[in-house]
Structure 1
């Protein structure tokens, strides 16, 4: 009998572990909550941003030690999402009045799905990830505009700056076209194939979606890599 109980528990735990909290959050929670880090806010939003919810719960959960905060926060979400009430809520009165009380999600999520969402919520929305994202944004703001475009459109995935990848190094492109910079621009707009032996016939797609400012800045930046 004990073997069956333990086996059943192990199977239930595996079932819970197999659920994708991120995917569930994106498909179920994003209807009302903004999921960005840091979040955007909108005048007509239906619910507070998920990062704000997670931070607020974590800060206000009533436990005595830091080690208890995450388990207690997960437990709170598992209870509140199925059984919401103004009395349980950590929101201030104005927020409750503005957004209204969250409707119960009982019947829309299973207990296992809700646990997966709650676990992901506090793994993802934390100070470490928030500071990492803000640092990355600062790096992008400080970056040369042309390099920012190159990274935005994935140029660096196929072209190293000084090393060949799937395509030639950007430094090699700059050297080849140092007297004819417009060829770089044309290649970006039209795409290329078989101009570089080391590319092994790989085709570079066209990037017609770039606006004029992006095209000018990335062309100039590539030309400077020689």
Structure 2
């Protein structure tokens, strides 16, 4: 009996361990970075844990109701119970049931950890470095706005995650901005040539000028012309900004 109790104690998992084993992979592990809107934000495979917990606390009001909801939902997740709308379920899917994966005691421990301790001792998470708008110069802010308005939606906004080959990679509507800038720097050699090429290309994009092959153009299409959308000064500022922003 003593041996049995000792073994059970050793096998018992803490709330944090249970969270790591059953929740963190989707709700806490960063799978990519979204740079749209001029800010870098982490991308997860499901709604971020901290946001979910805060939303659930608001909905349930008490710890007892919070714990009861979590235990019920992880056993039998349904669209009707979800805190999020159809768009989130369409983007992330409905979470799989964890029924039978934990004992009643363990699911209680997990829910209590989420309620009381999740924000006190956070599990290590990838930190995304970013330059906030407060630290940008007026010129940088203007160029950041141009990038956000004319480039970010295709070149930095994550539209999905590719899991092929056992590796998670972000999916965009066009070649990723950092890769494009790195490739263009290799091709043009100097900042002046970089700026000249970029200004010419966004005005009159052409398959013959493209840095990418037929497959990329077939997959993404040829970018639309931005001729007349910006002044010469603005397009120069944008190109200069991109050269400096994506420094290797």
Which of the five TM-score ranges fits, normalised by the shorter chain?
0.3 to 0.5
Whichever of the two has the greater Rg, that structure is 1
Query: TM-score, structure 1 length as denominator?
Result: 0.40
TM norm structure 2: 0.38
Structure having greater relative contact order (Cα 8 Å, sep ≥ 6)? 2
Where is the strand percentage greater, Structure 1 or Structure 2? 2
